[in-house]
Amino acid sequence: MGLFDMLNVSASALSAERQRAEVTAANLANAETTHTDAGGPYVRKEVVFSATNSSPFQSVFHRLGNFGQAPGGAVQLTEVVDDKTPPVMRYEPGNPDADKDGYVAYPAINPVTEMVDLMGAVRAYQMNASAVTAAKQMIQQSIDILKSS
Amino acid sequence: MATTPLIQLLQGYLKVTADRQQTVASNIANVDTPGYHTKDINFQAAMQQVMNEGSQLRMEPVSMEVDGLPERPDGNNVNIDRESMMLAESQLQYQMGVQLIKAEFHRLLTAIKDGN
């Protein structure tokens, strides 16, 4: 069923982009966090996307039997990785998190980078939402064949 | 086995168009996936495959990568303008196929009702 597979593909992208926006929002929220459970400042997170193609066996199986085409490449968020950039040191002797020299480690987060990333996620989300609308209209049109003319 | 040859043809046309739409959706879904390459379905070859109903092992249309699109530094070459155009295009093609099927069924009904 091509049309319903298409909904699944777009839904996977909606989910992935939403999680990307969540991670970006967490980065923005913690841009000044110097104290975490793990100790040290908050570490900037980044998402890793990967295309999920069905296994070679599955796609050949789908093609040779009359089971329709194997679902097209969806996307999934495979992992959330830590940014390896070292923290930014600011001289704040009065801060309770300051080291013995009076420097406080702040996360290396640039709000501009995060905002651009957030906008990218939102636009990609919108694009996939239009793909969902297109799929829904196509399904609706197929249903309309049944309507008495 | 479809009622009339035209309906069988249009059935194949709708299938190819829906598969193509799915490929476009997949391209849009992977717009931020590093190393992903734009895929498309060869319309003519896919139509021939779908219409070839003779053999038991019917091959399904297979997507392939599109050449000539500029690649971004992360190895991804999805062009969002191309994809949104393709999305609209295949949606309209699908709509046309549906309208033609409806018209064909209407003709059948007219024949059944003896022109009334």
* Residue of B31, B64, B78, B107 to mutate, testing the A interface (most A Cβ within 10 Å of its Cβ): B31
The stretch B28-49 carries a mean pLDDT of 86
C-alpha B8/C-alpha A66 separation (Å) is 17
Strand ranges in chain A using DSSP code E only, listed in sequence order: 45-52, 74-82, 88-91, 103-106
Which pLDDT does position A16 carry in this prediction? 93
The answer to whether B33 and A13 are in contact (CB under 8 A) is no
Quote the pLDDT of residue B4. Answer: 84
Write down the pLDDT at residue B92. 94
Q: Are B76 and B32 in contact (CB under 8 A)?
A: yes
pLDDT at A149: 58
Best mutation site among B13, B15, B17, B21 for testing chain A: the one with the most A CBs within 10 Å? B21
The whole model's pTM is what?
0.80
Name the band, by pLDDT with cuts 50, 70 and 90, for residue B12. Answer: confident
CA distance to partner chain B, nearest, from residue A60 (Å): 10
Name the stretches of chain A with pLDDT < 70.
1-2, 53-72, 148-149
**pLDDT computed for residue A62 by the predictor:** 60
What residues of B are in contact with residue A6 (Cβ under 8 Å)? 18, 21-22, 25
Quick one: A71 exposed, middle or buried, by C-beta within 10 A (0-12, 13-18, 19+)?
A: buried
Q: What is the mean pLDDT of chain A?
A: 85
Residue of B2 and B92 predicted with greater confidence: B92
Of B33, B60, B62, which has the smallest distance from its Cβ to A68's Cβ? B60
The radius of gyration of chain A's CA atoms, rounded to the nearest angstrom, is 23
- Identify which of A9, A137, A145 has the shortest CB distance to residue B91: A137
pLDDT tens, A5-20? 888 889 999 999 999 9
| More confident site: B5 or A65 | B5
Q: Which residues of B touch A (CB under 8 A)?
A: 14-15, 18-19, 21-26, 28-34, 36, 39, 57-63, 80, 83-84, 87-88, 91, 94-95, 98, 101-102, 105-106, 109
CB contact under 8 A, B28 and A137: no
In this prediction, residue A46 carries a pLDDT of 93
Say yes or no: A73 contacts chain B, CB-CB below 8 A: yes
pLDDT at B3 over 70: yes
Q: What is the mean pLDDT of residues B39-45?
A: 84
The pLDDT value recorded for residue A115 is: 95
Which chain B residues contact residue A3 at CB under 8 A?
A: 18, 21-22
Q: What is the pLDDT of residue B50?
A: 74
What is the amino acid identity at position A31? A
Report ipTM for this prediction. 0.77
The pLDDT value given to residue A116: 95
Structure confidence by residue, pLDDT tens digits, A42-66: 999 999 998 886 555 655 666 565 5
- Across the interface, whether the CB atoms of A127 and B19 are under 8 A apart is answered no
Contact call for residues A2 and A68 (beta carbons, < 8 A): yes
Per-residue confidence (pLDDT) for residue A4, from 0 to 100: 83
**pLDDT tens per residue, range B44-64:** 877 877 777 655 455 555 677
Local confidence band at B67 (pLDDT 50, 70, 90 cut-offs): confident
Q: How far is B14 from chain A (nearest CA, A)?
A: 9
